[in-house]
Amino acid sequence: MNNRKLFIVLSLVPALLLVLVFTCYPFFKGIVMAFQEYKLFDLNNVPFVGFDNFKAAFDDPKFMHALTNSAYWVFVSLFFQFVIGFALALLLKKPFRGRGIYQGFVFYSWALSGFLIGMIWKWIFNSQMGPVNDILMRLGIIDERIGFLSDPKWAMVSVIVANVWYGIAFFAIMLLAALQSVPGELYEAADMDGAGTVRQLFSVTLPYIMPTVITTTLLRAIWIFNDPTIIYGMTNGGPAGSTHVLSSFMLDKIIYAGDYGAASAVGVIMIGILLLYTIFYLSVTRSEKVGDF
């Protein structure tokens, strides 16, 4: 019995110790920083300033803009990623020749870094040499080139397109696995009851895979919300801050402004939003199965 305890402790110590020191400690230190004036160029003078950083954030129109952008960034991206990913999963459900290779290929976006995806799409949306402008002109859809990344009206749409492109694979993979776990008898029974394809989708398939749908959409929403890499690579928040979301806004405060207090305040606000959203989402979807690890 003692042997067993020793084995458990020894096996877990490296993982727990490292996570405690290098994940938990800096995380809580970051939360504390949100209540300090903490600037890179004056590290010896870091007084506590109460909620000043939070007040400053809410007074900053750029922050408020990033806040609304975050909502678009998350929900528009998520909607299209989910719908297209689900459609793809349905199409890939029945085996056909070359399905394995096709899957392997179309899911490759997962292996790319968000930063490089941003760079590649920046080149594709380039106003002079970009193929998107070129193709739209040739098809006669537009008469003049669009500055997809230089025009604030279009920049947010463009980064969302890149993000959708990247994230479809996640839903396609997850939903395909869920679809394949639906017992065939359910469809046989539905057939006998005379339910058509569309009816079967809504009455058999969707209810059965609902737990997966809820988990994946929640996870994906959180990840999209937290991850600024595609935006960083594509526009770096520009032009004039028009594509900043909360995560890229926070990153900007750290890397370029060196204002750690202000960045941490944004981070704490993000945590608050995530908690509220998660609670709201789980209570609306009434799911007790999610997060049961």
In the region spanning residues 175 to 234, those forming contacts with another protein, defined by CB under 8 A, are: 177-178, 181, 211-212, 215-216, 219, 222, 225-226, 228-229, 232
Within 26-55, the residues that bind another protein by CB under 8 A are: 26-27, 29-31, 33, 38, 43
Q: In terms of C-beta density within 10 A (0-12 exposed, 13-18 middle, 19 or more buried), how is residue 82 classed?
A: buried
Q: Between 24 and 189, whose beta carbon lies closer to another protein?
A: 24
Give me 77's structure tokens.
């991206």
171: contact with another protein by CB under 8 A: no
Which listed residue (11, 83, 183, 207) binds another protein by CB under 8 A? Answer: 11
Which listed residue (41, 97, 111, 144) binds another protein by CB under 8 A? Answer: 111
Give me 28's structure tokens.
């809580």
Backbone angles phi, psi at 65, to 5 degrees: -65, -45
Q: How far apart are CA 12 and CA 6, in angstroms?
A: 10
Size of the site for another protein (CB under 8 A): 90
Q: How far apart are CA 216 and CA 209, in angstroms?
A: 11
Give me 236's structure tokens.
């770096």
Which listed residue (23, 48, 51, 279) binds another protein by CB under 8 A? Answer: 23
Which listed residue (72, 254, 281, 282) binds another protein by CB under 8 A? Answer: 254
Q: How far apart are CA 114 and CA 76, in angstroms?
A: 18
How many CA atoms are closer than 13 Å to the CA of 278, on its beta-carbon side?
16
Helix (H) or strand (E) holding 102: helix 99-106
Q: Between 18 and 276, whose beta carbon lies closer to another protein?
A: 18
Task: Please state the separation of Cα 246 from the chain's center in Å.
Answer: 12
289: contact with another protein by CB under 8 A: yes
Within 117-146, the residues that bind another protein by CB under 8 A are: 117, 119-121, 123-124, 128-129, 131, 134
Which listed residue (51, 102, 202, 280) binds another protein by CB under 8 A? Answer: 102
Between 53 and 82, how does the x/- string for binding to another protein read (CB under 8 A)? ------------------------------
